[in-house]
Chain A
Amino acid sequence: MVESLQHLMNGFGIAATVQNLLYCLIGCIVGTLIGVLPGIGPIAGIALLIPATFGLNPTSAIIMLAGIYYGAMYGGSTTSILLNVPGETASVITCIDGYRMAQKGRAGPALAIVAIGSFIAGTIGIFGLVFLAPPLAEAALAFGPPEYFSLMVLGFIVLSNVTGKSLLKSLMMAIVGLIIGTIGLDPVAGDARFTYGSVSLLGGIEFVAVAIGLFGIGEVLVNVNQPSEMLDQGVLMPRLRELYPSLQDLKKSIGAILRGTVSGFAIGLVPGPAPVIATYASYMIERKVSKHPEEFGKGAIEGVAGPESANNSACQAAFIPLFVLGIPFAPPTAILLGALLIHGVNPGPLMISQHAGLFWGVIASMYIGNFMLLILNLPLVPLFANILRIPKRILLPLVILFCITGMYTVNNSVFDIWMMLLFGAMGFLMRKWAYEGAPLLLALVLGPKLEVAFRQSLMISHGDFGIFINRPVSMVFLLATVIFLIGPVIWLMFKKTKKGGILRVKS
């Protein structure tokens, strides 16, 4: 531990040179921009900038590219809050309460709490990275196909009713998500499913198209459907001093931020779509521990603070398997792996000892970068919040334009734009009949991974389902799922008999 601190101090020495500070700043700015724009995400952003790092030394290059990654996590929520357009997959959940806050004229506090929560989560996440990296990376290896399957079953069951409205409707939406997730080439055997001869469908439905469609386009259509007088009204604008969170907001949020940080970090270590699961889990936790759960979905600040902190610490945790094992668990870290290789650094078990300067320099730069992001983002809050002063008559078509161009940049695919519009229409109908988009998106992310893990497990065990319960980690997850499903029923029966007992005594 003392040794780690010593290394970290050396790392600060490396990160604090003028050159490295500059590249860190550039990375943070680019990351924020990429995060703010819907569609183009950290993966494309890093890939586009790799060629720009050719002339740099590896440490500066990785400092900048890592800055883009965590910077994008800061910016990703901006459009979620302002326009109900999730900029990144990790900020889908922020739409729920963030957008409601903005509609109530509280866009400023929502945006500010994202920056503050992200800063706290990023900072704590770095300490986790410094002290826990090697043992945690080993622990992550304990996840084989059966464990992965059971964890996702648990995640699926627990998180599908994330907004806590109608369980039946949530499950229906989750099933729709699962069905959409099966479109494309079967990941195990390579057969085409539900593609009806369309080549564009072979790769499956693009997640971003569904997310922007259901939330962003759907919201625009809902607005258009309102009486035209409503369109002329801007959003209730706050006074200047209300642009930043009040003391009460901060008090409400701090618990959410800390819980989000811890859960996000833990989930970030698991291979797969960690930031998405981390944000859903954090929202769920906040709604459960809240003293006023009825406020969730109507603009609860905790519903923004928790998930946004969670996605930042999940992003930090994702560096552990990359640096320690040389294995990227998440697509953005896979791009970073490529960048490391290009600069002659082979991440793997030997990296920390062979490239100590780079490893600790990059980690120290993340701390500095988080601070820069806070300084960068807080003054931008009034600017962004003022976007909502634009009358809806003008803002809404701009949002559509913004969504279409953003969507196109993801895969340079016109087909994706049509998909997005189709899901926009679906989002409109879902809003009208009060179906939630969040469970559908979760199922769309988890479904294909769940299927692969399930089939791999059964191939390993020659078709024996025992593999899921014979392995302790897997069994614990399945047990937790069963408790979650049966627990409330038993609790209800217990309460009823107790009540019944009292009644009998009375009579």
Chain B
Amino acid sequence: MFKRIISILFVLSLILTMPIYAAEFPTKEVQIIIPWAAGGATDLIFRALAATTGKYLGKAVIVVNRPGGAGAVGYTEAAQAKPDGYTLVSAITPLTILPHQVKTAYTYKNFEPIINVVRDPGMFLVRSDAPWKSLKEFLDYAKKNSDMITVGNSGAGGGVHLIALAFEKTAGVKFNHIPFAGGGPSVTALLGGHINAVSVSPPEGIEHVKAGKLKITALFAEKRFELFPNVPTVKEQGVDFVMGQWRGLAAPKGTPPDVIKKLHDAFKKGMEDPAFIKNAKDMVVNLSYLGPEAFGKLMAHDDEFYGKLVKEIKK
């Protein structure tokens, strides 16, 4: 009797763990590795996109957070994942930054570009009751009190950290940069008044700007936000600085081209879905579609740009 039960269990365990080979991709759900904590900008955008893409792909798209090491943990894992199209990774600006700063097990070349979804400007938020009424007051204070204004970021060497570093270089000031484990925690610390400002990109903190708790003190965009037409860009105010981040999807190197194409087509439809467009609008993210080739070029260009920037900063 028990022997039989055990043999049944044994056979069952073999069946359940057997890899399923099938001609048609996808035969199971596709997972997107987010190398940042849940609740940050990248996480929110890809969760919304995963929701609308599922029905076009025919299988659910699942978001998995692998935060830590400024993205290195998630990217290392993704670079070494099986290139079968079932494990994707959110390719965002830091993918082309971190490999210049520390020795990583990957560069952007370890990934196949699929699609770019979002290009967002960077911005600095401060509390509404902050003493600085304008960008000029903020920068004047920073000039007089070098290294005193604490600016939170979502992780050392991450995209918004570099934006803050590049901005202080252009503006001729110096901030005290504090790393947090993602955009959520850094905005929380700003709300609680534990730091003076935070370097983020939408949608982080937008709800609090709408509610009047935080305000945008510096916007590094080409043009103003539709949602906040009264907030001028820093360029309008005489600081020639425009910088932002892109967020797209990539697969491990070696993923078959037809699988990439299927994924690209499904995610493109997911991007065009009215539900996603509405979500993106609510989150104040700037949708910007790029196909695999154009996205690959963008990555290559930025990899070179950040390589130079990091070298200059290190000097």
Contacts and interface: CB of A to CB of B under 8 A. Distances in A.
Given A190-B157, A344-B279, A348-B207, A456 B178 contact: yes
Contact of B147 (A143, A191, A462): A462
B123 to A, nearest CB: 17
Interface residues on B, range: 35 or more
B102 A190 contact: yes
B184 A141 contact: no
B38 interface: yes
Contacts of A203: 66, 68, 73, 77
Interface string B105-131: 100000000000000000000000000
Interface residues of A, number: 52
A124 interface: no
Interface stretch (B48-56, B249-257, B296-304): B48-56
B243 interface: no
A335 to B, nearest CB: 6
A48 interface: yes
Contacts of A144: 189, 192-195
B38 A335 contact: yes
B179 interface: yes
A350 B210 contact: yes
A460 interface: yes
A348 B210 contact: yes
A111 B69 CA distance: 41
Interface stretch (B39-47, B136-144, B217-225, B232-240): B39-47
Interface string B146-170: 0100100001110000000000000
Given A191-B102, A202-B72, A334 B39 contact: yes
A271 B213 CA distance: 20
Interface in A40-54: 47-48, 50-51, 54
B207 A456 contact: no
A288 B16 CA distance: 48
Contacts of A50: 47, 51
A456 B152 CA distance: 10
Contact of B63 (A47, A146, A204, A350): A47
Interface string A177-195: 0000000111111111000
A76 to B, nearest CB: 20
Contacts of A462: 147, 176
Given A331-B65, A405-B13, 16 more contacts: A50-B51, A51-B54, A141-B188, A144-B194, A187-B69, A190-B69, A190-B157, A199-B80, A325-B188, A337-B44, A342-B279, A348-B211, A349-B208, A349-B211, A349-B213, A401-B9
19 contacts: A51-B61, A51-B62, A141-B193, A142-B192, A144-B195, A184-B69, A184-B73, A185-B72, A186-B69, A187-B181, A188-B156, A190-B70, A199-B77, A202-B77, A326-B208, A327-B39, A334-B39, A335-B38, A401-B13
Interface of A: 47-48, 50-51, 54, 141-146, 184-192, 199, 202-204, 271, 325-328, 331, 334-335, 337-339, 341-342, 344, 346-350, 394, 397, 401, 405, 452, 456, 459-460, 462
